[in-house]
Amino acid sequence: MVMDGCLTALPTAPSAASATAGNGVASSGVAGTVLARGVSQGTLKIKAKGRTDVIVRTITIAPGDSTGWHYHHGQLLAVVKSGTLTRTLQDCSVEVAPAGSAFIEPSGAEHRHIARNAGSEPVVLYVTYLLPQGSPLSVDAEPPTCLGE
């Protein structure tokens, strides 16, 4: 699976789905709600090989809290619904993602990272995981040596 595209930052709102009843006529019994939208800084490329668990989660990080250092066996697509997420990556670079941002977290131990909420309001994320079937959501990791921790 490969997906290229851009997400747009708009407020959430209920919306009618564009589904049809099989005869080309939209069904009035179909509705959808946009949970979150975000804008990527560039092209998003998602790849999954073999049988893949697709999991959608809402993650809330309280002010002053963090996820701990970890990595994932598959890619994640994240949208920051509210708050500002600060991520420190394996090379000790820091990325800040405000509400309305979208980003991909790459897979593998070489892409360990930690996500922090340095703000005063909760960070709410909508995250879609694309994991090899049966993989855990995340794997704990040691901080990188560049941090001196």
Contact (Cβ atoms closer than 8 angstroms) between residue 70 and residue 140: yes
CATH of region 2-147: 2.60.120.10
Residue 35 neighbours by CB distance under 10 Å? 11
Q: Which token pair is 94?
A: 């820091």
Nearest partner of 98 among 38, 44, 45, judged by Cα: 38
Q: Is the pTM of this model over 0.85?
A: no
Domains of the chain, by residue range, sit at: 2-147
User: How high is the pLDDT of residue 20?
Assistant: 52
Query: pLDDT tens digits for the chain (149 residues)?
Result: 444 443 333 344 444 455 555 666 666 788 888 888 888 888 888 888 899 999 999 999 999 999 999 999 999 999 999 999 999 999 999 999 999 999 999 999 999 999 999 999 999 999 999 999 999 999 999 999 887 75
